[in-house]
Structure 1
């Protein structure tokens, strides 16, 4: 039997390594030929994908904003890739790859299994621009994914929303997975041994929707009350309208309120060195990868009781869920860990158990491969 050819489509080449590297390896081990498409490949990412045994393919895609001419060009480029490489199934993830990859594949009569990794800014923001983008994206989703063989969601809320908005129908075949999964060997468990110097860690895009402003305010309040506590922050400065400026972050760092690390690649080490992971996001997440990595490493989690985020916490067992955009609600559980450091170890152990039960990347990838095989064979 000839190997089936699968095309993964991403909006960012680095995500093919960080979020889908294990999936690519699993597909190769399952005897598929894998092609990985993304815009603007970095040399090291191209090399790493090739070393895995997959084929990297570059195509032009404007990751943000709306430019009809460029977007049409992206669809045409994807159609050429599908035809030239005789692709048997297209597997896109994130908003633009799902929309344009589905359009391209459907026009080529090639089956699509699309992965909804969160509905993002346009389904979160309340601005007039966000609402306009939401309507536009809804229309594009309707045009693109209704013919897909399967739509895979990372949480039930996103599925329900698309049903309510009539983007998809109840007859549409859907499935669910628990995020992108986490490699439990790469993100190994390390038992916490907290003292009166409890440390917190925030990792995300440095935009307000991810809760960074709330985290900074909580850090100011708690640092004054508990000088030994530490408040770490990892993320690259952005130019987004809702971004926290690098000057503000450096100022808080210089004042000793936070420890700003900037962009980092050695996330596991930072999780091991800190006690509690905090993500007060009100962005419409799929299932945040960072919370899964924190669970695997044995960090208790404080995050919001909102779409995607709530999936990573068993309330009072491995962490706490808080009301979005509520500073007092965030300060309370952070202070709880500062004043009850023994709970850090206990809840950290429960985080690791939860990761093993639900978020093991091998389980997630096997579920995805089963879905793929059902459609191809």
Structure 2
């Protein structure tokens, strides 16, 4: 059993012990509460049975207003409850803080991993591109591979389109990278990537493709840490990409290869695809950019002085390589704290005569925008 499943089991067991044993100790014979309960008006009610708790809060990185926790109310049966405001369709991660202890929802078997953490997961229907629909479905597999670069076993998630298992043809490949506080599980759970691809393919809006979602972290990462760039880039080039091309029926050429990522994954994308521009025809950067371009005070650094430009000067000045770049797509929310970095990055690439497509949308640094970016970006691939 790997550490992920051990941690998952420990957290779940602690949650069950905490909320149910206290209930039994008080002789509570009421049926367990339903949680989460998704209402027809797109509100969600969260409940947890903890009769002896003094304080219970709902915490979420995705639900508006819950970033720093919201207090829940206790009824006479010892069940704590909170109903959200109307939520946009999509997936939301959450957990409870019971007397200051973070626990997942013991009444909910849906979950999503982030960076060395786990969340309960609830999905609010209403967007035909994200919903689970009666269309042909592909498969998302957890794939274990050995990284020679890191000398250990690693995991990635791989989406294969409907019909892949029973067919013989080759497919284009799309490498989809996650952010700093996520894991390789995130795009296929809270990101709804598999269902988004199913729906886009079913409607003829996207070509069938293989989507590879690797683990961008090569070790522990926390607030204030530097992004783990170099080790992951080596793992990707030396292990992930060769593994995919030797184990899956992919079209291993530039015109059939794409890469995109959000936040840290966007920085990884620029650190992999631009230095190897002859290998990628489609590049997407969601809520990200070249981090060295903007100082902490918001001032923009001269591009030629950045380590990124110095390392990639030959590629940036190579007009022949730019000819084969079919799409260079950026998108960031107007309330995103990385907006200035995105703008500076787009300007830098335009100054080097790249044909950049840039969109500023409503929203902040959240899955509420990244799922929409995936829905918009994917149909542009492999045309």
TM-score, normalised to structure 1's length? 0.36
Query: Max radius of gyration: which structure?
Result: 2
Q: TM-score, normalised by structure 2?
A: 0.35
Higher helix share: 1
